[in-house]
Amino acid sequence: MTGKISRFDPRQRLGGFLSGEGGSAIVEGVVWLPVLLFAWLTVFGFWDVYRERATVQKATFVAADLLSREMVPVDTAYLDGLGRLIDRLSDKNMTVTKRYTLYRRNGSNDSELSVIWSYAPNAGTPRDGAQLQSIASSLPKIRQGETAILVETSATYAKTLTRPFESLVLGGTMETRVVLRPRFFPTVCLNAVSC
**H or E segment at 95?**
strand 95-105
- Interatomic CA distance for residues 148 and 129, integer angstroms: 14
Higher pLDDT, 47 or 76: 76
Name the percent of the chain lying above pLDDT 70.
Answer: 86
Q: Of the ranges 8-22, 38-52, 169-183, which one carries the lowest mean pLDDT score? A: 8-22
Task: Write the CB contacts of 161 (distance below 8 Å, at least 6 apart in sequence).
Answer: 41, 42, 45, 168, 169, 170
pTM of the predicted model as reported, rounded to 2 decimal places? 0.74
Would you state the pLDDT for residue 162?
58
Position 154 pLDDT exceeds 80: yes
pLDDT at 69: 94
Would you say residue 166 has pLDDT above 60? Answer: no
Residue 86 clears pLDDT 90, i.e. is over it: yes
Tens digits of residue pLDDT in 105-153: 988 887 789 999 999 998 789 999 899 989 998 999 999 999 999 999 9
Average pLDDT, the chain: 84
Across 23-41, average pLDDT: 82
Would you state the pLDDT for residue 122?
Answer: 85
Distance CA 195, CA 35 (A): 60
Per-residue confidence (pLDDT) for residue 120, from 0 to 100: 93
pLDDT surpasses 60 at 10: yes
Residue 1 has pLDDT above 60, yes or no: no
pLDDT at 151: 96
What does the domain layout of the chain look like in residue ranges? 27-180
